[in-house]
Amino acid sequence: MHINRLAKSIVGAERIKVRGIATDGAGALVIDAEPYRARSCRCGKCGREAPRYDAGRGVRLWRCCDVGGMKAYVRSEAFRVSCPECGIAAREVPWAAHVSRLSCAFEDTCCRCALSMSKVACQKLMRVSWRTVGSICSRVEARLSEARPPVPGGLVRIGVDETSYRKGCKYMAVIVNYDTGAVVWCHDGHGKEVFGEFLSGLTEEQRASIGLVSADGARWVDEAIAECFPARLCLVA
């Protein structure tokens, strides 16, 4: 694999220029990158093209997924733009949400881990704070809600799970495509009604393509699957 292709894979963004790869004094991998010129000066809140305002906080690091046990970061300018709609805002970068110092790929990975282990185990694995795990789950849910429209086709094997991501019984329902490892749907809350919202957004073709559903044995999951996928195989984890 070409080194630039590998770097883009680590950052989790394709439309970027990789300017260099090095290690810092702490032994972390640092990838210097910039958005493509057409997207290099846009508002981080709304995505509109906007003129540069000032240097902001200068050069910033965003955490990426670890590489071979090493922490990895993408480094780029974090200048501010003057958006006619949003005012003064940090510029948009294709690898991270506006308010986050973590890449979207890192947050997606952390959210998937939070579904199958405790927050303490997740924070130790991802090397972030306990509170950060909850914040990440909230951002992933918001990001998926914004981009929710169509659930991608080609769903064959899916996982259904729910996780508590904050004190006070704040739950989130998540649907995972096992063939790609991607989170394809996420919604605040839990239970049969929330899962029903996911099912109602599927076309007949999408429902017909699903051959296996895995869940944690909750009664409402069994009931929903029996109603919507009577001939499908359900695995209980």
- Return the beta strands (E) in the chain as ranges: 16-23, 29-35, 52-54, 59-67, 70-77, 80-83, 87-90, 157-166, 170-177, 182-188, 212-215, 233-236
Task: Dump pLDDT digits (tens) for 161-175.
Answer: 877 766 666 778 888
Query: In this structure, are residues 126 and 97 in contact, taking their beta carbons and an 8 Å threshold?
Result: no
- Quick: pLDDT tens for 44-96: 999 999 999 999 989 999 999 999 999 999 999 999 999 999 999 999 999 99
pLDDT of 158? 86
Entry pTM: 0.66
Question: Which has more pLDDT, 235 or 120?
Answer: 120
More confident residue, 119 or 193: 119
Instruction: For the chain, give every domain's residue range.
Output: 3-101, 146-236
Q: What is the CATH number of domain 146-236?
A: 3.30.420.10
Q: Quick check: 227 pLDDT over 80?
A: no
Which stretch of 99-113, 140-154, 157-171 has the lowest confidence by average pLDDT? 140-154
